Structure 1
Amino acid sequence: MTITELQAQPNWMLSIVADDGRVGRFDVTPYLQYEAFQPLRDQTEFVKVANGGYFVEWNCGADLSADTIEAQWQVVGTVAQQKTA
């Protein structure tokens, strides 16, 4: 999967659009226990996420691969469905 759109949401959720049109949410909360992700407990740092296409990353050095996200995200629809809603 390639991530084409990315937006940080409240409560440590990422809204993601994949290259195949799937739209989903990914919960980062379980990762906040790890040292690299601890700076992201501050929402002002969490929202500074960058899209690398095959990964997402933050200034603190924490990152997640698109494969990890795809294995655990919740698909909520497709781009086509959202345009008709």
Structure 2
Amino acid sequence: MNIVEIVPNDNYTLYVKVENGRAGLFDVKPYLESEAFAPLNDRVEFERVHNSGYFVEWDCGADLSADTIQARWKTLSTENAQ
């Protein structure tokens, strides 16, 4: 799965769109208590997410693979997609 669009939302979710047109919301909140993701509690840092195609990453070193995102995202219907 190749990520083509990633948008951080106010509620610590990520809007994710992949190359086949599917889209979903991925909740990052469960990860924020871990040491690697703790810096993302700062909204400014969270919003600095970078799309690297097969994973997303932040300047603090936290990252999520496309496979992890796909396994745990809430799929959006095409009407609900951004």
Common fold: TM-score over 0.5:
yes
Report what 2:37 is aligned to: 37
Question: What is the CA–CA distance in structure 2 between the aligned matches of 1:19 and 1:62, rounded to whole Å?
Answer: 23
Unmatched tracts of structure 2, length 5 or more: none
Structure 1 segments of 4+ aligned residues over 2 angstroms from their partners: none
Using the size of structure 2 for normalisation, the TM-score is 0.93
**1:4-83 mapped onto 2 (5 Å cutoff):** 4-78=4-78, 81=79
When Rg is computed on C-alpha atoms for both structures, the one with the higher figure is: 1
Using the size of structure 1 for normalisation, the TM-score is 0.90
Unmatched tracts of structure 1, length 5 or more: none
**Residue identity in the other structure for 2:72:** Q
Between the two proteins, what is the percent identity of the paired residues?
A: 53
Between Structure 1 and Structure 2, which shows a larger proportion of helix residues?
A: 1
| DSSP 3-state at the match of 1:33 | coil
RMSD of aligned alpha carbons: 1.4
Question: What is the CA–CA distance in structure 2 between the aligned matches of 1:7 and 1:30, rounded to whole Å?
Answer: 18
CA deviation digits over 1:25-80, x for unaligned, max 9? 000000001101000001111000000010000000000000000000001123xx
Using the TM superposition, give the Cα deviation of residue 82 of structure 1 relative to its aligned residue in structure 2, in angstroms.
6.0
